[in-house]
Structure 1
Amino acid sequence: MSKKRLLENIFSLGALQAANYALPLLLLPYLAHTLGVEKLGLLAFAISLMQLFSVLIDYGFNLSASRQAAVHRNEPTALNHLFAAVTTLRITFASAGLLLLYLLIQTIPRLQSDANLYLASYILVAGNALFPLWLFQGLERMKLASLIQIGTKFTGFIATILLVKSPDDIVLAAFLQGSTNLAAAFICLPLVPGAIGATRIVPPKLENISQQLKEGWHIFLSSAAINLYTSSNLFILGVLTNPSTAGIYHVAEKTVRAVQYLFEPINQAVYPYISKLAQDNPQAALDFNQKMLKWAGAASLLSSISLAVTAPWIVPLLFSPDFSASVEIIQAMAPLPFIIVISNIIGKQKLLAFGFSREFSRIIILGAGLNFATFPLMAHFFGALGAALANVATEAMITTFFILKSRKTNFLKH
């Protein structure tokens, strides 16, 4: 792939990330004022539960299948079988997740009291299952897919402002936020045959499904560990405290993540590029990785410092006085953009791109174990601030182990 295509995909993914995170961040003050602290916390709790289900349906395909699509981008038959197998698995996992959600609602009183909210929120999982972002990302043809997603997310943004007018509209707010990816999926799926150079999608074969389960297993373990501790933190905090505390934490986390995700388009676009380069010219891949570490590291460090300094002005400007406690939470989490950028460059774009998926997985699982050991205790005794500090400590430990493993590895002999 040419560097021109790489830059085009970075731009497309950047626009998509703006829709994914800037629009919700712009919407957050409106929802905070309209729903109030408690209802916003309940909505955030429901969405965090849906993100846990999304971990199941993804199975690491955003990395494992995306890498395969990048490697086989000029082989229509291989891409056809890949798409059929991965999509079948994602739909199967989403169906199983819906059944599990129904059983949880029937057995847990806290969920049963807001059953409509959780069922409406599950549309987010369905949209994630059907939208083939992993394929377009692997093929590095993100322009049209990004435009479609941006269009549906902007429509959902406008619909939420027009239709959500009181705390009683919390179920509608959940449905509108989750429906955008499903709408994008219905638009994008007919484009898949043309994107892979096929006249039609072949039926899935059992051996291909089995192969994808094996290919994605180690990445699934690491991705599940990452997503479980990042997505479950708000869920755990909501269980251990109350919706108001969850709402305070949600506002802070969303603000920090918005800064962090400014760098995600580069991470997503570079990963298939450097995965291919690692096969064709390992030394060039290592040189490229060092440049990324230098420039993205410096930019993310500046972003983290700026976030900590401006937090006392950001919160009063965007949110009501009820959310003033979010300021110290933002400042506690401000190192995350810098830490996670370094983690992605060393972990995903180096260890994973060179095929060290087993080692990558072990480090992530170790970090998830630390999170699950410390987060509940910190959240219980110190509330939202303790939760924030536990989150930062986990990410810092994972990044440290990535660096140590990278220094001990001879990538040219792998």
Structure 2
Amino acid sequence: MSLVRKNIFVLFLIQGTNYIFPLLTIPYLSRIFGPTGIGALSLAQAIILYLVMVIDFGFNLTVTRKISIAYQTENQMEINKLYTHTIFMKMLFLLIVIGIIVICCQIIPQLINIKILLYIGFISLLGAVLNPIWLFQGVQKMAILLVPTTLSKLISLLLIFVFVKDKGDLNFAMFFNCLGLLLSGIISLYYVKKLNLAKFTRINYIFAKKITKESSYIFMSYLGSSVYTTMNTFIMSFFVSLKDIGIYSSADKVTTTAQSLMTPMHQAIFPHLSSFTNKDEYLVKLKKFGIILVGFAVCISIFIFLFAKIIVSILFGNEFYESYRVLQILSLLPIVISLGILFGQWGLIVIDEAKILGKIYIYAGFLHLTYIFLLLHFWGIYGAAISIVITESIVSLVLFLVFLKRISKLKS
């Protein structure tokens, strides 16, 4: 088995624990809390996920690429510097976002109602700081992460089934869901030290500023895309009830889980494409991996659309029946997003055009805001689903056109 195939396989297993374990709890939690409880839980988790994105700040792509290059040239000193300063900057961002969210929880009505859930979610934020998945990707030792990921998720799963029994246990459900990421981060750091993958070095503020600036273009792209992904749930909270958010979020969880099936391929192939030296060789590899990725995405989308009712019935129960219509609308996303990965992450980022990628996502975020409120007003959660599909489709089309233009100018 080639190194790329091995990494894809390992990442599939890791993603399996990240999403299959939670899927095992969804039928249980949905029937305990109902749409309203799940809506509150989903709103809090969406905001925490947004804050995790802020803390990651694009390092998961830019630093992975730099570590991959340093690893191939056996430059351990560079790896140590990247490891130290990435964790340092993420810790700094953690302190900033905690301060901001505490203030917001005192003045924004939608957050006041779920502030305890958000405070509990700070556990996930710390886990995001401590979990150096970008280091393991860069040195292509993803198999090591199987132990911390599986163990932490299993512990969280068992704790939910043992301690979450009725509607009053919503805080416990949030706590145990967040605990997994923290445990995974702690165990991962143990393996970094045990295997001597990287060591902490003295902080160099100039170097910290440099890697942060280089990652800012990726962060801006995430920030733009977050308007129509993670922040969509928060936007909905101003127009619909927590019950409707629960209905929508349940369908969204299914498509998010389905899309995550593509993540192992994306993460494993990205370092492999990043180190190309010849344009023609790169394009051959991009076409080969792209056909596999998009073909896989088409299968996922067709399956979700055809079996939406059955999926909703099994996972969420009769109270969530309306979710199936939302799910059918969102079933187009795996195809659209696979094209975004192909021409964005595997395309523009690899050929060092991250800056333009960030601009595309920022403009898409602003574009999304021009019709999301109108669609929410007339069609509620269905309008929200339609707006996401429209925006993601526009983004993928623009990424394709820009990539064609930029790659034609790239020297062989």
Same fold (TM over 0.5): yes
Partner of 1:98: 98
CA-to-aligned-CA distance 1:183-220 (integer Å, 9 cap, x gap): 1111111332455655x411221111111111111111
Match of 2:333 among 310, 319, 336: 336
Query: Please, which moves more after superposition, 224-233 or 159-168?
Result: 224-233
Partner of 2:83: 83
Distance 1:234 1:158 in 2: 28
Distance 1:114 1:351 in 2: 39
Distance 2:390 2:24 in 1: 28
The answer to whether the 8 A contact 2:228-2:391 is kept is: no
User: What amino acid does structure 1 have at the position aligned with 2:282?
Assistant: A
Q: Does 1:359 align with 2:356?
A: yes
Match of 2:61 among 60, 63, 68: 63
Q: Does 1:116 align with 2:116?
A: yes
Q: CA RMSD in A?
A: 1.6
The answer to whether the 8 A contact 1:80-1:196 is kept is: no
CA-to-aligned-CA distance 1:98-157 (integer Å, 9 cap, x gap): 111211122234433443222112211111121111111122111112331121012111
Alpha-carbon distance change, 110 to 361 in structure 1, aligned in 2, over 3 angstroms: closer
Partner of 2:275: 276
Partner of 1:214: 213
Q: Secondary structure at the match of 2:202?
A: coil
User: What amino acid does structure 2 have at the position aligned with 1:160?
Assistant: I
Q: Does 1:243 align with 2:229?
A: no
Q: Secondary structure at the match of 2:203?
A: coil
Match of 2:375 among 374, 378, 383: 378
Partner of 1:162: 162
Question: Equivalences for 1:121-136 in 2 at 5 Å?
Answer: 121-136=121-136
Q: Secondary structure at the match of 2:84?
A: helix
User: What amino acid does structure 1 have at the position aligned with 2:129?
Assistant: A
Partner of 2:191: 191
Alpha-carbon distance change, 201 to 23 in structure 1, aligned in 2, over 3 angstroms: same
Measure how far apart 1:380 and its partner are. 2.5
The answer to whether the 8 A contact 2:55-2:129 is kept is: yes
CA-to-aligned-CA distance 1:156-187 (integer Å, 9 cap, x gap): 11211111111111111111111111111111
Match of 1:289 among 270, 286, 290: 286
Structure 1 stretches lacking a partner, 5+ long:
none
Distance 2:383 2:391 in 1: 12
Task: Give the number of equivalent residue pairs.
Answer: 409
TM-score scaled by length of structure 2:
0.95
Partner of 2:392: 395
The answer to whether the 8 A contact 2:131-2:184 is kept is: yes
The answer to whether the 8 A contact 1:60-1:224 is kept is: no
Partner of 1:234: 233
CA-to-aligned-CA distance 1:335-362 (integer Å, 9 cap, x gap): 1111111110111101111111112112
The answer to whether the 8 A contact 1:37-1:322 is kept is: yes
Alpha-carbon distance change, 110 to 305 in structure 1, aligned in 2, over 3 angstroms: closer
Partner of 2:42: 44
Query: Please, which moves more after superposition, 72-81 or 311-320?
Result: 311-320
Distance 2:90 2:130 in 1: 7
Structure 2 stretches lacking a partner, 5+ long:
none
The answer to whether the 8 A contact 1:241-1:380 is kept is: no
Q: Does 1:107 align with 2:107?
A: yes
Distance 2:326 2:348 in 1: 32
User: What amino acid does structure 2 have at the position aligned with 1:298?
Assistant: G
Measure how far apart 1:25 and its partner are. 2.1
Distance 2:374 2:245 in 1: 16
Query: Please, which moves more after superposition, 63-72 or 227-236?
Result: 227-236
Alpha-carbon distance change, 168 to 356 in structure 1, aligned in 2, over 3 angstroms: same
User: What amino acid does structure 1 have at the position aligned with 2:19?
Assistant: Y
Measure how far apart 1:377 and its partner are. 2.3
Distance 2:391 2:281 in 1: 31
Partner of 1:144: 144
The answer to whether the 8 A contact 1:84-1:204 is kept is: yes
Q: Percent identity?
A: 27
Q: Secondary structure at the match of 1:256?
A: helix
Alpha-carbon distance change, 60 to 228 in structure 1, aligned in 2, over 3 angstroms: farther
Partner of 2:176: 176
Distance 1:12 1:292 in 2: 17
Q: Secondary structure at the match of 2:222?
A: helix
Distance 1:251 1:197 in 2: 39
Distance 1:302 1:197 in 2: 38
Q: Secondary structure at the match of 1:355?
A: coil
